[in-house]
Amino acid sequence: MTHFRAFALAALVACAISACAPRPDEVTAEHASAEAVEHPGEAVYQQWCASCHDSGQQSGAPSLAAIRQLNRATVKYALELGYMKIQAQDVPKEELAQLINWLPTSEGNNDAWINAARCPVKTREVRLNGAPRTSTTFGVTNTANRAQSAQETGLTRDQMKTLDVAWVVAFPQTPTMRSQPVIVGDTIFIAATDAGRLYALDTNTGCVKWHYISEMTLRSSLTFAEATDKSPAAIIMGDAAGFVHAVDARTGRKLWVSNARLNEYNRITGAPVVHDGRVITPVSAIEVNYAGSDDYQCCKGQGAVIAFDLATGEKLWTGTTMEPAQPTRLSRTGTQQWGPSGAIIWSTPVIDEKRNVAYAGTGENVSWPATDTSDAIIAYDLDTGAKKWVFQATKSDIWNYACGRRGANCDWPGEYHSPDHDFGATAMLIARKDGSELVVAGQKSGVVWALNPDDGQLVWSNKVGRGSANGGAHWGLAFDGERIFAPMNDPNRPPTPGENPNFGPGIHALDAMTGEIKWSYKPNQRDCGAEMPVAMAYEPAPEWRIQPVSAPVLPTPRAAATPPRPATPAAAAPTAANAPAAPPARAPAPCRLGMSPAPLLVDGAVVTGTTQGMLRIFDGKTGEVLFEYMTNRPFEKTVNGVEGHGGGLDSAPYIAGDGTLFVQSGYARFGEPPGNVLIAFRPKAK
Ligand code: HEC
């Protein structure tokens, strides 16, 4: 919808309510005056949405300002099909339309900047022939070691000390940067997922070579597929509704879009990877949110790995994580329950060419009964999707949004626990000094597991973090040939007595032969402006270097029944009468030290970040801090003229190539600071 029509519609809706009739000339009034008249959508927001979205620190919901940046298609999707479907189900149709009309503040300018930012003809071409494949997927390569060399990137470890901002591009209608780019030659392919846009940008200046428009919100990180005799080189990614997109890497033209849904609950979160003419796609699901509502029939969504033909997008096989869900029992509120469900695959599969398998980590079960495939690493045969082995790290972990308050959808017979200890992080296939290989995976429980790739047997394990529903290990690890780097998104709280003093937000370098910690680093409050010296890496005391855990971790007997807590607004739609009181005077902003994003290695330097937005680069050998930069700040001068602001660093925000370290900043999830920028760092010229 054009800006003009959006305004006209807003005026019409406003007047329908106040029983006035707009004259055509009023419709051309300044936008500012439209804002002055209260739009009915705002009242709908206050009644149905504000309880969570005005208190993001507690609810984890993005702020009103952040959701108002989204484009209309994304808001509509969220309310009708996506995460907010249950929250919006009781909003009368007319009010919902007013809300969808009111929320987006900048509809229409999503693509306006592109023409001005278009590359000059001589750099507009996406050159693939002979260009280095600097990083082609989430894990940099299909074994997902997340390691780049000086030769591949044109950056050395020493140069990290002298990095400086070269240029910044900002994306409109984008509060969250959550998709790791790929780099081929002098082109960086990058997605502004919330805005449903994929771009090919020039690595030297940030100018635009092409852009691709998706009608659906995009979601996953990107993968580059080489041309074959049947198909051109392609960029592959997943969207928020569970479809895979293949886009011509040279032109941005759509090649195919294929459905990866087992049912309506599936989504794609991890990146599809490409191997041998096939697109191996991880499938997640959404119901963990819906289950928060007591009258929701929980749950049928399940994880899977699905292979598509790279040339045609045709589905070749499906590797499920469990049998389809059946009706099981009635909940205490009389609602039909379904199961098994869950064991969804958030992360990017890892390809083992030699053994012809893909390794995928699964999440918890979402409803009863539990399966032996949740919180597990599964090896899938690359020709058939059959399971070759399953390593289950945690047993009987059934969790969904009802569990925080013991809602009716978190009410199962028998022994279970609900720590929500997924494998959200992508695993790695590593080759050690002695030539032996391991599958290494970090879990949200804070445990790093090392498995034999032949049979999934445990080789070593080390619990290096406290763990939580948001990590422990959250998005990934990296491997430099000797050490495994494991950042922890542990909650930032004082240690409990007797607890391993290394627990907490931080990063650990583990010896790949034994799993022992070689060095650890814990950020301090200086990251949030407190006057204190920069924290230093240290060697933990010998007794704390390794704490093995045997698998599977079993449920602890359930504590004596606690009375159910009162329903939150997720279950009971707030009305004017029972709307929650305004939150008390603003609590001080929390200091976020959690190191959630997957690390990246560049010539042995470890690039890391915090959910507060601090970029920090270490020497992988010693833990010495080489570089720090707070990305959570305004960027007034962007090369494309769009207003820019950095925010939290999360998911997989960094990638290097063509002499540049690229960092994406902004993450409007879990109460983290939103942002919309891609920052290009280069060494200062001597
Ligand atoms: C019970 C709390 C709650 C209520 C009520 C609620 N939301 Fe949300 N909302 C959330 C949370 C939490 C998220 C983040 C979901 C995630 O990313 O996992 C979210 C996300 C969103 C998003 C972003 C979705 C995306 O895909 O990026 C939009 C848009 C949104 N909400 C709109 C609304 C609107 C409009 C209403 C009122 C009809 C509403 N929400 C009511 C908690 C709530």
In this prediction, residue 654 carries a pLDDT of 97
Nearest CA among 470, 468, 293, 283 for reference residue 380: 283
**What is the Å distance from ligand 1's center to 83 Cα?**
7
How many C-beta atoms lie closer than 10 Å to residue 596's C-beta? 32
Pocket test for ligand 1, best of 39, 45, 46, 52 (most atoms within 8 A of CB): 52
pLDDT of residue 555: 79
* Average pLDDT, consecutive stretches of 10 residues, N- to C-terminus, the chain (686 residues): 33 33 34 62 95 84 89 88 89 95 79 92 95 97 98 97 98 95 98 96 97 94 97 97 97 98 95 98 94 94 98 98 97 96 98 98 97 98 98 96 90 86 97 97 98 98 95 96 98 89 97 98 91 93 96 76 46 38 53 95 98 97 97 96 96 97 95 95 88
Contact (CB, 8 A) for 309 and 316: yes
- Give the side-chain half-sphere CA count within 13 A for 495: 12
Contacts of 407 (CB under 8 A, 6+ apart): 291, 292, 294, 401, 564, 567, 571
Is the CB of 288 within 6 Å of ligand 1? no
Separation CA 459–CA 453 (nearest Å): 10
Question: Residue 203: which residues within 8 A CB-CB, separation 6 or more?
Answer: 183, 186, 187, 188, 657, 658, 660, 680
Judged on CB neighbours under 10 Å (0-12, 13-18, 19+), 681 is buried
Q: How far is the CA of 87 from the centre of ligand 1 (A)?
A: 8
442 CB near ligand 1 (under 6 Å): no
Q: What is the pLDDT of residue 217?
A: 92
C-beta 407 within 6 A of ligand 1? no
Residue type for position 629: Y
Q: What is the pLDDT of residue 15?
A: 34
Provide the pLDDT for residue 57: 74
Nearest Cα residue to atom 2 of ligand 1:
52
Asked if the bond preceding 49 is cis, omega within 30° of 0, the reply is no
Q: How far is the C-alpha of 444 from the C-alpha of 421, rounded, in Å? A: 5
Q: Find out whether the beta carbon of 149 lies less than 6 Å from any atom of ligand 1.
A: no
Tokens 């709307």 — which residue?
Answer: 579
Distance 72 CA to ligand 1 centre (A): 14
What lies within 8 Å, CB to CB, of 413 at 6+ separation is 329, 368
CB neighbour class for 321 (10 Å; exposed up to 12, middle 13-18, buried from 19):
buried
d(CA 147, CA 186): 19
Which ligand 1 atom sits closest to the C-alpha of 669?
17
Which ligand 1 atom is nearest residue 49's CA? 37
Determine the pLDDT at residue 72.
Answer: 87
Q: How far is the CA of 61 from the centre of ligand 1 (A)?
A: 6
Ligand 1 neighbourhood includes 49 CB (under 6 angstroms) = yes
- Report CA dihedral (211, 217, 218, 219) to the nearest 10 degrees: 160
pLDDT at 560: 52
Rounded CA gap, 92 and 88, in Å?
9
What pLDDT, on the 0 to 100 scale, is given for residue 578? 38
* CB-CB contact of 283 with 260 (8 Å): yes
Whether 68 is in the pocket of ligand 1, judged by its Cβ within 6 Å, is no
Contact 595, 489 (CB under 8 A): yes
- Output the residue whose Cα is nearest ligand 1's atom 25: 78
Alpha carbon nearest to ligand 1 atom 24, residue:
78
